[in-house]
Amino acid sequence: MTSVQGLVASPDADSQRTLYPYVTGTSVVGVKYKDGILLAADTGASYGSTLRYKSVERIKAIGKHSLLGASGEISDFQEILRYLDELIIYDDMWDDGNSLGPKEVHNYLNRVMYNRRNKFNPLWNSLVLGGVKNGEKYLGTVNMIGVHYEDNHVATGFGNHLARPILRDEWKEDMSFEDAVKLLEKCMLVLLYRDRSAINKMQIAKITDEGTTFYPAYSLKTFWGFSSFANPTKGAEGSW
């Protein structure tokens, strides 16, 4: 099997140099709302253009105060979960009544992602990290090249192009749970229509000061009832 050598070959060249992802998840969308954070992602993992796996949980709880959503290579996401597991366990072992909050976890992830990028061996993911600690809400994102920021609403992949504009227009401070869910569903529906890698099975996860809730996976109704959909060439037979 041949491989592409990037730059100067060092003694252990090619031993660790990720070139491209295989099994990938698509967009994750997150919003802040009155009681905390809501994250949404579909439960699909593609293999190239094949929608291969349809029941993959791409949002996971991290410690007591955070949720992590991931798009990109699933094997790298699974490895990140192992790193975070270790981080949380060691933090727990101090047994000092303090626990890592979302800001700290986001910072840790940023360091990991950026350092891997500098070694030309990235973890091929775009991550959304949201959480609440002591009433303070936090929502951030970090990707495979180490770009990171926090905001009232974030998204990965296609979500940046399709969901963020909707959120910029319709997101408000202190939205109710119902309004936030409806807004997320509006974004996810657009993604379902327009993202080839999206599947119609998604999960919403919530985090508040009380804890995390993973709602059961469900599917959205889609609308195809425009008359121009039923008969696109009406009045212009032979056209397309």
Partner 1 sequence: MDLNFNAPHSMGTTIVGVTYNGGVVLGADSRTSTGVYVANRASDKITQLTDNVYVCRSGSAADSQIVSDYVRYFLHQHTIQLGQPATVKVAANLIRLLSYSNKNMLETGLIVGGWDKYVGGKIYSVPLGGTILEQPFAIGGSGSAYLYGFFDQAWKEGMTKDEAEKLVVKAVSLAIARDGASGGVVRTVIIDSEGVTRNFYPGETHPLWHEELEPTTSLLDILSAPEPMNT
Among positions 8, 9, 12, 15, the unique one binding partner 1 when judged by CB under 8 A: 15
Stretch near partner 1 under the rule CB under 8 A, chosen from 1-9, 61-69, 166-174, 178-186? 1-9
| Helix (H), strand (E), coil (C) string for the chain | CCCCCCCCCCCCCCCCCCCCCCEEECCEEEEEECCEEEEEEECCEEECCEEEECCCCCEEEECCCEEEEEEEEHHHHHHHHHHHHHHHHHHHHCCCCCCCCHHHHHHHHHHHHHHHHHCCCCCCEEEEEEEEECCEEEEEEEECCCCEEECCEEECCHHHHHHHHHHHHHCCCCCCHHHHHHHHHHHHHHHHHHCCCCCCCEEEEEEECCEEEECCCECCCCCCCCHHHHCCCCCCCCCC
18 catalytic? Reply is yes
Q: Which residue among the candidates 2, 18, 222, 233 is catalytic per the annotation? A: 18
Closest separation in Å from C-beta 48 to partner 1: 4
Under rule CB under 8 A, residue 80 binds partner 1: no
Under rule CB under 8 A, residue 134 binds partner 1: no
Binding mask 23-62 for partner 1 (x = CB under 8 A): x---------------------x-xx-x-xx-xx------
Return the number of the residue (22 or 90) whose C-beta is nearest partner 1: 22
Contacts to partner 1 by CB under 8 A: 1-4, 14-23, 45, 47-48, 50, 52-53, 55-56, 73-75, 78-79
